[in-house]
Structure 1
Amino acid sequence: MSLSMALSPGLWCISFLAIVVAASLVRWLLLPKPLPRIPYSQASARRIAGDIPELGHAKGVRAWMRDLFATHNSPIVQVFMSPFSRPWVLIADYNEAYDIQVRRFKEFEKSGMTIANFRGIIPNGFVSMKAADAAFQHNKELVSHLMAPTFLNHVSAPEIYRNFVFLLELWDLKLEQGKGKPFQADRDMYMVALDIIMAVTFDHRSSNTMIMRQTQHLKHWYNHAHAREDASGNKDNYTNDDPDEPFSFPTIPLTEDLAALMYITESLNVAFQSPFPRLAHWLYLQKPVSRRALQRKRDLIHRNIDASLARLEAHQHDARQDNAAATREPLCALDEIILRGKDLASQRQPQFDPRHDPALEDEVFTYVVGGHDTSATLFNWFVKFMARSPAAQARLRSALLSAHSSSSESCPDPATHAPLPTAQDIIQKRIPYLEAVIAETLRCAHIVPITAREALVDTTVLGCRIPRGTHVFFLANAASTVAPAFGIDEALRTRGAREAKRKVGVWEAEGIGEFTPERWLKNMEGGAVDESEGGVVFDPLAGPQLAFGGGPRGCFGRRLAELELRIVVTLLVWKFEFLKVGGGLDGLESVDSSTEVPRDCFVRLRRVQA
């Protein structure tokens, strides 16, 4: 007993040391493991939570990531976002981003984190698949024709045009009712983008669009307000005399179907803004309201599949009655997907039932998700840039008037009956300054400022080791695109990155953060742009922009977005002059969402005199 008592202090000491060693080992295992030669925060590397506490003091995840490059004075940095996980590598260099996304796609695949974010709501869409997945190529082929010129010009463009003309009518009404005061524009852009994508996807061509319903609502509201004024004897009791004070218009809610679609789409924000995206998104989708929205989305798509099948069958029946061949005449994206699915089934898989095809359902929803959010955000940024850049706006309007003044066809403005350029005329005309404005809008808006890839093999980037499984993020809102590029030793680049640098120009550091469409123009002889329009051409390789990513996993809807922007820019600038908005509402501050949206989006309009 005495011997045992004598040994007890030693045993306690050994036990204590064992606990300390074990705790230290566990802490070491949990601590971030920096990759060599890539700058990082020393303080973050010494704590288990890594960089996560820093996000609590940041204005947004994307802005925080962007500022890290200036903090470390490096085009490549690493951050620690989760215990037991590899660091994230951030890159702010266009040439490396282009090389990795376009040429090195066998070394880098779409990030598994991005795929997981979408998989919660689109489990069977190609956006939620690796390129090596068995169904990936089939799904891409199912929707590939939606970006073909024939479909874009003959199906998408007329619906974009038709629905945006309705917005012109709404804004004419707001201009009159609001007496020229500024008003909030982002809700209108949100609704018109939704009207467009629903019409293109499902052939929803009724007069009951959200914008038309909003217009009718304002007419009734305005008449009711004036009736109250006449009864009370008080004039203008629904406004005030401050010219910079925005006029507040009532807004109608979305229909139940549209609200369900947007609820599911906006659930992606939960994943994108959480350090634990999969868990956060999964928990969000388990809520009863989420389950009801998902079911309503499925019901909406299935109803439209039935309508599309009936429409296609009726067309075939009419062709048989006339003893004519049944030609492919899709009225919407869903028609085209079903027709394409039948073609693929006849070649490879005889069983194809559109009513019970998970891939078809998810690709339709992917088209809606991708076609709405980015478009609405682009429209919002464009009107802000126009109000802040009166010289560019005037030059654009002059170029449009000059190009379309000789057109033989026109469409009457519903409010003033003045001629508007037709959709086909807008598509066919190539106006250098319009092309430059579109490119500059995409560069400065950086609606999706971050794209992500995952290393499939052990490799290197800018001379730094990138182990397999590392997530690499490319920022479009940082150096080389909207801020001066870092000086990089060319010996650190791959051959492909050096070739990319030779093909694409470099933006001058002075004014790189400003909205300047002229940077995309050059004289036909290749010299600097002079003051005249003669001989000026648009140069798409004048400098870098990463709005749509690149390579096999680049943005599928790029052509649709560019088409929308072409039509929208033309109609808006043709119809309205965008005046400066005061009261601190014209800033370029943004808010993190699934896209990077402006914090404030107000417009002050004046009609362009015909």
Structure 2
Amino acid sequence: MSPPLLVYAFGVFVVTWVLAHAHLVPKPISGIPYNTLARYMPWGDLITLGIHNWLTGGVFDWFSLQCLKHRSPLIQVFIPSFSTTHPTVVLAELREIEDIVTRRAVEVDRADTMHIWFGIVAPRATIGMKSEDRSFKEQRRLWNVVLSPRFLEDVAVERFGEVAVKLADLWKKKSNIVQEELAFQVQDDMRIATLDGIWKMNVGSELGLLNAKLERLEQPKAVRKSGNGKAVFSNTVMPEFYSILGTLLMVLDWVMQGISPRMYTWFFNTTGILARAAKRKDEVLKRCIAISRERVHQNSGSEPIDTTCALGEVMRKDFSLNSKASEAASNGASGDDALTDELLELLITGHETTASSISWALKFLTDHPEVQSRLRTSLYAAFPNSTLPTAKDIYTTPLSYLDAVIAETLRLSLTGPISFRQTLVQCDILGHTVPAGTPLVLVTAGPSYDSPDMPFVPEYLRSKTSQATYLRKHTQTYPIAPATDSLHAFNPARWIREDGTFAPDAVHMLPFSAGPRGCFGKKIALLEMRIMLAVLMMRFEFPRLRKGLSGYGAVDGLTRRPTCCYVQPKTIGTRA
């Protein structure tokens, strides 16, 4: 290349660099630490985050590591996919996070990023809406019925109980096929079980995923290969909706973790991948909606009306709020589009997070036989006259040690350690002025929380509401475990009081966030974990596996999932 061309090419490069930097990287907020080099890169911190994800499979812990790097619970990063007009502020301090999400709703709300991400698959779902949006309030008013004690006990419990027993039957068949001598992966089984359960709870019909798995085991060549102490079972032909949902989840993962959400959205729209999946999804879910709506209209003079699923409950409540049947089929919160998107949101978030958490629980219990034995003994003591208690009994009986196991799993698994918010007005966070419209990443768990290098936060830097709350309680709200007990250890006993009851505040953590925009499905997730773990622990023993089958690697997507989760279930004989 001749010198003039080299000069020209260099000039184009410089101009491109300057323009990209000017449009993609905003000015930093004064006083809040940041990576100096990233400030001058067109893609800001995105390259560093991408390299970390490629090397480790993680995304969530990167934000906490940046706080550790700067030795500050409050930092800022430059990620164009989050915002090109504001730096993203990262907060990793539990007390301040809890204050923000519970007491400062007029200052901070759900981030625009959430609507961009989930909007590609479910634009009318409440997960991406602002709290003051009329649509958000209307839809939540309808769907809050699924959190009522009656619905949880009469509908949700029964649905997840059926699924738990069916999952146990599946694992018993697998164990019989390999004569209990080989271990097998269970993440896929766990995902389809939780999806089967959340589908039946929401829609009332059978999705049939576990049934398909059970039927495949009855066919020839159920095991595809075996060796090295493990078995791989042959693939199963699943019902169509499973592949539809898989495509939508793939699209969502790419949009959430890609360099540019808009670029990936354009790609999936242009190729037709998204359109084909969305069309079939709409056809399936709107058919379910039509069936429920018709049942409500046909039985409008009697009570109860179709209380066998969440959709029926929502339809019944909507019909009772509207004097005319036509209003129940309007374009508002009970219109087909809104119902379809809210259903899809619940299906996605309601199965993925719970499946990951139960998988982590099985890993911890398998590697800690003494904890597993104590849990099983506590279950036998709670149900002395039952081979396998009903799901309702599991839900209504005090089971302190099971609750402790669940809490300890949520503490260590870090299934969802970050949440996304955005400032609505200029506000103060730990003594720093943060402009309106600034994205916030609230990190509720990660390396910075375990490090002694993180500085103490002076009381005067905290918000007035945080200080007032602290003064009212006079003492630390959440006592930590004794100094002799490592917080890195899996020890459910830290959650048990001297009188044997469960202490939910033994360790300060926010696995479901908190406040009005905390996890909508928290009650359902805890209910599902309780039933699943109780059934599996009373049906099987899970012996400790060799090191190669019990690694603790993880990959981040919608949740933090274990890269491997092997079990070798040993069927427990019937008790006398």
- Determine if the TM-score, normalized by the shorter chain, exceeds 0.5: yes
Secondary structure at the counterpart of residue 591 of structure 1: strand
- Specify whether residues 239 and 258 from structure 1 end up closer, same or farther in structure 2 by C-alpha distance, changes over 3 A only: closer
Residue 29 of structure 1 contacts residue 84 of structure 1 at CA under 8 Å; is this kept in 2?
Answer: no
Cα distance between partner residues in 2 of 1:211 and 1:172:
13
Q: Which amino acid letter does the alignment assign opposite residue 465 of structure 2?
A: G
Matched, 1:582 2:546: yes
Deviation, structure 1 residue 277: 2.3
**Residues 286, 336 of structure 2: 8 Å contact kept:** no
Whole-Å separation in 1 of the counterparts to 2:135 and 2:37 = 44
Corresponding residue for residue 213 of structure 1: 212
**1:147-206 superposed Cα distances (whole Å, 9 cap, x missing partner):** 11111111111110111101111111111112321101011111111111121121114x
- Find the counterpart in structure 2 of residue 550 from structure 1: 514
Q: 2 CA distance for matches of 1:253 and 1:21?
A: 53
Q: How many residues align?
A: 547
Aligned to 1:49: 43
Moved more, 42-51 or 378-387: 42-51
Rounded Cα–Cα distance in structure 1 between residues aligned with 2:538 and 2:449: 29
Aligned equivalents of 1:89 and 1:159: distance in 2?
41
Q: Distance in 1 between matches of 2:449 and 2:220?
A: 46
Q: Which aligned pairs between 1:217-236 and structure 2 lie closer than 5 A?
A: 217-221=216-220
TM-score (norm 1): 0.83
Give the residue type in structure 1 aligned to 2:520. Answer: F
Shift of 1:255: 1.3
Distance 1:447 1:285, change over 3 A: farther
Aligned to 1:256: 240
What is the correspondence of 1:512-527 to structure 2 with a 5 Å cutoff? 512-523=487-498
Task: Give the alignment's Cα RMSD to 1 decimal.
Answer: 2.8
Residues 552-582 of structure 1, C-alpha deviations (whole Å, 9 max, x = no match): 1111111100100110111111111122222
Question: Cα deviation per residue 1:3-61 (whole Å; 9 max; x = unaligned)?
Answer: xxxxxxxxxxxxxxxx9999998688455522222221122223332212212421232
Of 304, 307, 318, 1:330 maps to 307
Q: 1:463 to 1:285 in 2, by over 3 A?
A: same
Q: Work out the CA distance in 2 between the residues paired with 1:603 and 1:47.
A: 46
Whichever of the two has the greater Rg, that structure is: 1
The structural deviation recorded for 1:459 is 1.1
Paired residue for 1:560? 524
The aligned runs of 1:132-531 (5 Å cut-off) are 132-180=132-180, 181-205=182-206, 209-221=208-220, 239-240=226-227, 242=228, 245-313=229-297, 315=299, 325-346=302-323, 350=327, 352-353=329-330, 356-406=335-385, 410=386, 419-478=387-446, 486-498=455-467, 499=469, 502-507=476-481, 511-523=486-498
Aligned mates of 2:245, 2:17 — CA distance in 1: 49
Aligned to 2:4: none
- Shift of the 144–482 alpha-carbon distance from structure 1 to 2, 3 Å rule, reads farther
Q: CA deviation at 1:448?
A: 1.4
CA distance in 2 between partners of 1:314 and 1:350 (Å): 15
CA contact (8 A) 2:296 2:315 kept: no
Cα separation, partners in 2 of 1:217 and 1:490, compared to 1, 3 Å:
same
Query: Structure 1 20/362 Cα, relative in aligned 2: closer, same or farther at 3 Å?
Result: closer
Shift of 1:483: 5.9
Comparing 66-75 and 87-96, the one that deviates more: 66-75
Contact 2:421 2:439 in 1 (8 A): yes
> Alpha carbons of 1:359 and 1:26: their partners in 2 closer, same or farther (altered >3 Å)?
closer
Partner of 1:9: none
Letter in structure 2 aligned against 1:295: K
Partners of 2:165 and 2:16 lie apart in 1 by 67
Contact 1:480 1:544 in 2 (8 A): no
Distance 1:556 1:20, change over 3 A: closer
What displacement does 1:336 show? 1.1
Unpaired runs of 5+ residues, structure 1, are: 1-18, 226-236, 411-418, 524-534
Three-state SS of the structure 2 residue aligned to 1:472 is strand
> Percent identity over the alignment?
29
For 1:113, the aligned partner's letter is T
Q: Distance in 2 between matches of 1:170 and 1:204?
A: 20
Give, in whole Å, the separation in 2 of the partners of 1:57 and 1:252.
Answer: 35
| CA shift for structure 1 position 346 | 3.5
- TM-score (ref. length: structure 2): 0.88
Letter in 2 for 1:455: T
